[in-house]
Every structure is written in structure tokens, then in C-alpha cells.
Amino acid sequence: MIKSHKQLTASLLVSAVIVAGLGVSAPGNAAAASSPSNSVMVAAVGQTAVIEASVRLRSTPSTNGEVVKYLQKGDQVQILAQPNSYWFQVKTADGSVGYTSTGDKYISVISSSVDTPTAPTAQTGTIKYGVNLRITPSTSGKVLRLLKKGEQVQLLAQPNSYWYQILTSDGSIGYISSSDQYTSFAGINGGTGTPTPPPAPIPPISTPGASAQIESVISAGMGYLGTPYEFGSSRYNTSTFDCSDFIRQIFIDAVNLKLPADSRQQGDWVKSNSTVVTSISGLKRGDLMFFMDYKGTSASAYEGIDKSKARISHVAIYLGDGQILHTYSVASGGVKVDKLSASWMNRFLYGGSVIR
């Protein structure tokens, strides 16, 4: 029998009411919960929970979030937050932080006696220099994205003296270095109040995200090939460069990271934020190289010099295979790629990475 338009509409409305009464949720949220039952947990922040069945730990509270790792049955986790009824934000025993389903098939709360974060929460800070946001508190953690100067972030926790867990304005949660080179939080590192001592440097580790940023920096530098040299060049235009102005500009162009204005300050910055490399064979592509004054082409001219105390007079970026990208004189033709001649090797003091 063919129903009229009004009858069909009425039937659909009745069906909708019945579905709502049965508690059937929207497809997206049902998928987020990933549980055969509609039962979800509501837990207090700081409680400990146990994983009941293998479940994904994701970078964001969404089934589209990047999978950080798989949690296995029997794993214990700390509940950090519950942004909605479908997701818990949890911290694992190895320090990984992410989101997992609240479905009771996957997780159950066992206690409320857990450690609390060591850093104050709900503090807002500002990114001072470009820094990588990582999934885990480790330089080997996958890079979610680069946070740029001026971005506002919220401090969630400080798992150790080297890392902050933060929330960005676009809702991403991850870890950044706690060095005061990168952020300023009220009452913590460079903000109003009593600052904490800067943490010990963390050796940078090349990751896919960092490698891509390094290539962007080098690409930006190659775009200036032939730009004339000028000692003491203006830091407000790119018509001419001296060595440190060139290095500073390409990091601004590529990753919005503003290094200090001169080569000696850049050398100090690398010492404070990276692992110093004194052997050319230990350098990686994209590392900065710092050199002392020219004293001639003979190796004997540099004998007896305490290079740990020598004054930096030049900076370049290492390209690998014995090549450097830099600028150092009008006569040389401005920005160029050079081979590491014996003279440059004799003048080399140390190097190190900028991109973490």
C-alpha cells in the first residue's frame, strides 16, 4: 500500500523519537566510543585506570587522530582529563600522553591515588621562538607541527624538567621543550614572577619532521645565492647580508625562528640549546658552524690556540659532504656554496643543531 506524503513524514518522526528514546548516538560519536555498549565512564582527573582490551592511544580526541601507540590489556594509565563522554586523556607508564575511548570494554577506573603534575595548570604562555610540538616528551617523538613565535598556549603539565605538556589554540596537545628560549609563562620562565632555572640541554635528534624543516632552511638559503655581502648589513631587509644576518634570515624565512643577531650570540645560543660538536666529522646537514679569525693558510698558524676561548668571527650552515652555505666578503661574490678548504677547517671552532 502506498502511503501519502503526510503519513510517510509522520512515520519518520515517530521512528526518530523511538531511536532517541533508545539512546542511539550519532554515528561519529558512536565510532569514537568504539564500544558495543552505550556505557561510558565518567572519571575524576588524577584517577588510575586499567586497560581491559587492546585499544589505540591517539594524539587528539577523535578517530581521525594520529595513533601514538597501542595500549594493551593490563596496562595502567593515569586519567588527565575527560574532554567529553567519549574520550579520556591519559598518561601511560612510559610517559606517553594521548586519548583513548571511555568505553568500559576498554578501560576501567581502579583508584584515585595517583601523582599529580609537577607544574601548575591552566597557565597561558606565549611562544618566543619556533619550537616543535611533539606527541611524546622526547626528541625522538613524532613532530605534530612547528609552533610559531607569538602563538598562545596553555600549560597542562610538566612531566620532567625538560618538557612541558601544552594545549594550543587549535586544540592540539603535545610536548615542547621547557627551555626559556622557546616559551614564556607567567611565574615560570621569563614571565612575571620567580623564574625557574633553565634545564640542561637536550641533544637534538634528527626526525622526519626536523629533517623537513632543515631542508626548508637550506632551500631558503639557496634562494639568496649571489646576494651581495655587506658587513653590518641591515636586519630589516634582504638586499645585502653579512654572515650572521644571512643565517638569521633563513631560519626566519623557513621556520619563523629568530636567532640572535650576531655570530657570537648565535654560537652562545647553540651552546645553550644544543649539543656542541667540535669535530667536523660529527656535523650533520643543517648544523651551524662557527669559525675563528683568519690567521693564514698554514695549519701551524693555528697551533697552540685554545679554541674553547677563541672569538667567533664567522658562521655558516653545513650542507654535508664537506660543503657549506654562507657569505663572508664582497670579493667572494656574496652568498655562495663553498668547499671546506684547509683554511676553513683550521679556523673551525664548533658547531651544532638549531632544529630539534
The pLDDT tens digits of the residues spanning 165-205 come to 888 877 677 788 888 888 887 655 445 433 333 333 333 33
**Cα dihedral 83→56→166→169 (10° resolution):** -60
- Interatomic CA distance for residues 237 and 49, integer angstroms: 56
Q: In this predicted structure, what is the pLDDT of residue 113?
A: 39
Cell of residue 274, nine digits: 644544543
Task: List, in sequence order, every beta strand (DSSP E) within the chain.
Answer: 48-51, 55-58, 67-71, 76-84, 87-92, 97-101, 107-111, 123-127, 131-134, 143-147, 152-160, 163-168, 173-177, 183-185, 288-291, 314-320, 323-326, 336-339, 348-352
Task: Give first-to-last CA distance, the chain, whole Å.
Answer: 70
User: What amino acid is encoded at 247 in this protein?
Assistant: I
Q: What pTM was computed for the model?
A: 0.46
pLDDT for residue 6:
39
| Sheet of 173-177, strand order | 143-147, 131-134, 173-177, 163-168, 152-160, 123-127, 183-185
Query: Which of the listed ranges 9-13, 108-112, 271-275 does the model predict with the highest average pLDDT?
Result: 271-275
C-alpha cell at 102: 571511555
Three-state DSSP at 41 gives coil
Cα(292)–Cα(333) distance, integer angstroms? 21
Question: Could you count the other beta carbons within 10 Å of the beta carbon of residue 352?
Answer: 25
Q: Nearest-CA neighbor of 75 among 59, 60, 54, 56? A: 54
H/E stretch holding 210 reads helix 208-222
C-alpha cell at 220: 631558503
Q: What is the mean pLDDT of residues 136-140?
A: 71
Q: Contact 109/48 with Cβ under 8 angstroms?
A: yes
| Stronger pLDDT, 226 or 82, i.e. the higher one | 226
Distance CA 177, CA 164 (A): 6
Q: Tell me, what's the pLDDT at 172? A: 75
Distance CA 148, CA 257 (A): 7
Residue for grid cell 568504539: 34
Q: Is the pLDDT score of 119 beyond 80?
A: no
Check whether 100 has a pLDDT greater than 80.
Answer: yes
Q: Which residues contact 234 (CB under 8 A, 6 or more apart)?
A: 240, 245
Q: Report the pLDDT value the prediction gives residue 274, as an integer from 0 to 100.
A: 86
Q: Are 131 and 147 in contact (CB under 8 A)?
A: yes
CA–CA separation, 143 and 145 (whole Å): 6
**Contact indicator for 61, 87 with CB cutoff of 8 Å:** yes
Residues 164 and 143: their CA atoms lie apart, in Å, by: 15
> Lowest-confidence range among 120-134, 291-305, 326-340?
120-134
Q: Summarize the confidence of residues 82-104 as an average pLDDT.
A: 80
- Under DSSP, the state recorded for 302 is G
Rounded CA gap, 326 and 315, in Å?
A: 7
CB 100 within 8 Å of CB 108: no
DSSP classification of residue 112: S
Bridge partners, 67 (sequence order): 58
